[in-house]
Amino acid sequence: MRKVFLDCGANNGCSFRAFKEYYPDWRQYEIHCFEPHPGFKNAFQGLPVIYHPDAVWVEDGEMDFYITGGASSTLLEEKVIAQNKHVHALVKVPTIDLSKWIMENFNKEDHIVLKLDIEGAEYELVEKMEKDGSLEYITEIHGEIHGPKCGKGYEDDMKLIRSFKNQGLDIYAWSAADDEDMTFKKNILNEEFMVNVMYPNWIRKGFTIEGFEQQ
C-alpha cells in the first residue's frame, strides 16, 4: 500500500507545509503538487514533492487560465464574473484529467489524501470522479467549496457534498486565507456547516446563494 497526498491547487507550497504540520508521518507519503499558476513554479524547487504545472480538470488538454492578482487565479470565467474581478493576465495552461490519472497510477488499496482548492472547478471535477469511479480510490478529502464565488447555488453545493457521502467520505473544510488558517480535519463540510457558517459568511460579504433562504 502506498501513502499518497494529492495537493490540487497547491499555490506556493503553503498547503504542503500545513500537511507536514498535521501529518507527523508525512515523509512516508508520495506527494504530488498540482499548481498551474506560472508565478509559483519556482516555489516547489527543492521541496520533497512531485510538481505538476497542470490544472486538474475533467480532460487532458489546454485551457485559458485567469490570473486576477496575487495568488488569485481560476480556470473558470464564471468565477471572475461572479466576483467582479479584474483579470491581470490570461494565459494558456495544461490541464490533466485527474480522475483518469488517479485510476491509471494508483490502486484502491492505496491510502490517498486528496486536497482540492481549485477555485470553482471542484463541481465538474467531482461529478466526473463519481461517474468514473475514481472517488472510490480516495481515503480522505479536504477541500474548499466556492459556492456563489463561482456562480453556484445551494443545490450545487449539496450535490457536491452528496457525491462524497455516497462514497462514505466526509469532506473536511480547507481554508487557504492565510497560513495560520490552514487546517486539516477541523470542520466537516456538511449541510449544517454550510448553512450555519459558510452561507452567512458569504451573505455578509454581499453574495447571494441561489436556492437558499436565510432563516
Q: What is the pLDDT of residue 215?
A: 54
Q: Which residue has the cell 472510490?
A: 136
Task: Express each pLDDT in 42-51 by its tens digit.
Answer: 999 999 999 9
Above 70 in pLDDT, residue 176?
Answer: no
Q: Report which of residues 80 and 139 the model is more confident about.
A: 139
Round to whole Å and give the CA distance between 122 and 149: 12
Q: Which residue has the cell 490519472?
A: 101
What ranges do the domains of the chain cover?
Answer: 3-54+98-204
**Percent of the chain scored above 90 by pLDDT?**
70
Q: What does the pLDDT average to over 132-141?
A: 97
Residue 158's Cα: distance from chain center in Å? 16
Q: What is the pLDDT of residue 174?
A: 81
- What's the whole-model pTM score? 0.92
Least confident of 13-22, 74-83, 199-208: 74-83
The band of 184, judged by pLDDT with boundaries at 50, 70 and 90, is low
Question: Phi, psi (5° rounding) for residue 93?
Answer: -130, 150
Q: What is the pLDDT of residue 68?
A: 82
Task: Express each pLDDT in 110-129 by its tens digit.
Answer: 999 999 999 889 999 999 99
Round to whole Å and give the CA distance between 171 and 165: 8
Q: Is 86 left (phi over 0), alpha (psi -120 to 50) or beta?
A: beta
Q: What is the pLDDT of residue 186?
A: 74
* Residue 61: Cβ-neighbour burial (10 angstroms; 0-12, 13-18, 19+): exposed
Q: Which CATH class is domain 3-54+98-204?
A: alpha beta
Q: Report which of residues 196 and 80 the model is more confident about.
A: 196
The band of 73, judged by pLDDT with boundaries at 50, 70 and 90, is confident
Q: Report which of residues 14 and 76 the model is more confident about.
A: 14
Write the DSSP symbol of residue 110: S
Mean pLDDT of the chain: 90
